Amino acid sequence: MPAAAYPEFRLGSVLATSFTGTLSERHGHPVERIPVPQRLVDWLVVSGLAVDSCTAEQLGLAKELREAVHAAATAAASGEPLPADAVRVINERSAQGRAVAVLTSEGEREWRLSSPSSVEDALGVIAADAIGIIAGERDGRLALCASPTCRAAFFDTSRSRTRRWCEMNTCGNREKKARYLANRRADADHRKDSG
Ligand SMILES: [Zn+2]
């Protein structure tokens, strides 16, 4: 199937939570954005971790890591103890990655994988990114999306640290619209009562 036939990616600026966002609406009607190995290839390419192929087994490792990051980030955002299984998976993926950071002549960081087919190296970078966020090594706050059907863990780097939604364009707007419609209904009821 062409890429357009699959659900679009929701790309955030933080690698680890952008990755957990490849499964969205976890508490509503879940949308799987990497349903086949090729879609993981596509996601890694747009996320700066270009690989040229992916096996079904590698996709399995990726999804296992994704759910581990989601579980650990959710626990961290809620102030709960980290699930041991999730910690183990994140550490395994981190330990098995052999990507190296290189500095480009333009002064940017790039990840160099040990081979173009090493999805494991790419997953190692994602796992390390998750460790940095969950361990509180980065400037920001882990939080859960206020949308009841989403509850995605996201990393709030806003100055006020009061961001409520994983993404303004989707969850934020939906919530605003729901509130607007509820207010309008309340106004209409009010008019009926007073009229
Ligand atoms: Zn959300």
Quote the ligand 1 centre to 149 CA distance (angstroms).
8
Quote the ligand 1 centre to 169 CA distance (angstroms).
10
| Res 168: pLDDT | 84
| Res 43: pLDDT | 98
| Res 193: pLDDT | 66
Query: pLDDT, tens digit, for every residue of 67-80?
Result: 999 999 999 999 99
Determine the Cα–Cα distance for residues 37 and 62; give it in Å rounded to an integer: 10
Quote the ligand 1 centre to 178 CA distance (angstroms).
14
Quote the ligand 1 centre to 12 CA distance (angstroms).
12
Quote the ligand 1 centre to 24 CA distance (angstroms).
8
Residues in Cβ contact with 61 at an 8 Å cutoff, skipping those fewer than 6 apart? 93, 119, 120, 123
Locate the domains of the chain by residue range: 3-139
Quote the ligand 1 centre to 44 CA distance (angstroms).
21
| Res 160: pLDDT | 94
Quote the ligand 1 centre to 109 CA distance (angstroms).
29
Q: Please determine, looking at this structure, whether the domain spanning 3-139 carries the CATH number 1.10.3300.10.
A: yes
3-state secondary structure of 154: strand
Query: Are 111 and 99 in contact, with CB atoms under 8 Å apart?
Result: yes
Quote the ligand 1 centre to 21 CA distance (angstroms).
9
Query: Are 21 and 30 in contact, with CB atoms under 8 Å apart?
Result: no
Q: pLDDT tens digits, the chain, 195 residues: what are they?
A: 676 789 999 888 899 999 999 999 999 999 999 999 999 999 999 999 999 999 999 999 999 999 999 999 999 999 999 999 999 999 999 999 999 999 999 999 999 999 999 999 999 999 999 999 999 999 999 999 999 999 999 999 999 999 999 988 889 888 778 778 888 888 887 776 665
Query: Are 131 and 90 in contact, with CB atoms under 8 Å apart?
Result: yes
Query: pLDDT, tens digit, for every residue of 105-141?
Result: 999 999 999 999 999 999 999 999 999 999 999 999 9
